[in-house]
Amino acid sequence: MNQEEFFALEVPEFQYLSYTVGGGIATVTIRRPDALNALNQDVLLELAQVSEVIAEDPEAKVAIFTGEGRAFVAGADINQIAGIADVFAAREFALLGQAVFNEIAALPLPTIAAVNGFALGGGLELALACDLRVASQKAKLGLPEVGLGIIPGFGGTQRLPRLVGRGRALDLIFTARHVPAEEALQLGLVNRVAEDALQAAQELAQQILKNGPVALALAKESVSRGENLDLAEALEIEADLFGLACQTQDMKEGTKAFLEKRAANFKGE
């Protein structure tokens, strides 16, 4: 898709999100501060829409997700959960959240959660769907669902153990406790802690942007496809994608720039 085709597209007018892109960084801000950015069905549907926009935006090379106000996302909307009529409706709500977060996880570019405050329940599950997590020093993270008589339903019971290990994940799930940022860093739940999560996420994005965009996409694909396979199968995938990377113009530019002792000028080709 060329630039003219992109600008011919209709970007949705979001009620609960803002979407900006500049310098290769797309930023999605959830804007429901009166409810601590809680996820109801409307917010989830807008997150699905914005994922499509990011995937089609030729300017977006890294995407940052954050929240407005003192929360990243404080969880799924409890009012909506309390009003669920039966097991089938509950299952459909969980499947909706899972599908939306799967779309975010599958974006073919690096994604960063800038956890500026509370990231609880569905908020933590959103952060877990991102590739990297940067937390503010005041952030609190957790999966408190069992305290409400339910379980995480947007991927938390599956993504958290894969990230921090089964024992640590069950500790957080069973206790329903809120983990401060520094402990989250020690657990491997977040990658970095900073005074300003969004600023730190932008700085991290700038570091990522120095590298080849095709290589970044292939590296993400290699990790995603191989993480649940045995080592032999996963190494086959890595070799295949390495082969593809070596056929790109970015590879030729990157190796040439290294040998010439200069910064590479990647084109994403």
Q: Residue 37: CB partners within 8 Å, gap ≥ 6?
A: 30, 31, 43, 67, 68, 69, 71, 72, 73, 74, 123
Of the residues 5, 10, 145, 233, only one is catalytic, namely 145
- Look up 238 and say whether it is catalytic: no
Instruction: Tell me which amino acid residue 209 is.
Output: L
Q: By the 8 A CB rule, do 67 and 73 touch?
A: yes
Cα(249)–Cα(11) distance, integer angstroms: 31
Q: Which of 46, 68, 103, 125 is catalytic?
A: 125
Asked whether the CA dihedral 131, 94, 139, 32 is positive or negative, the reply is positive
**End-to-end alpha carbon distance in the chain:** 13
Whether 182 is a known active-site residue: answer no
CB 132 within 8 A of CB 111: yes
The helix/strand/coil state of 30 is strand
The HSE-up count of residue 121 (CA atoms within 13 Å, CB side) is: 25
Strand-pairing partners, residue 22, are 25
The rounded distance, in Å, linking the Cα atoms of 127 and 180 is 15
The Cα–Cα gap between 219 and 222 comes to 5
Residues labelled catalytic: 125, 145
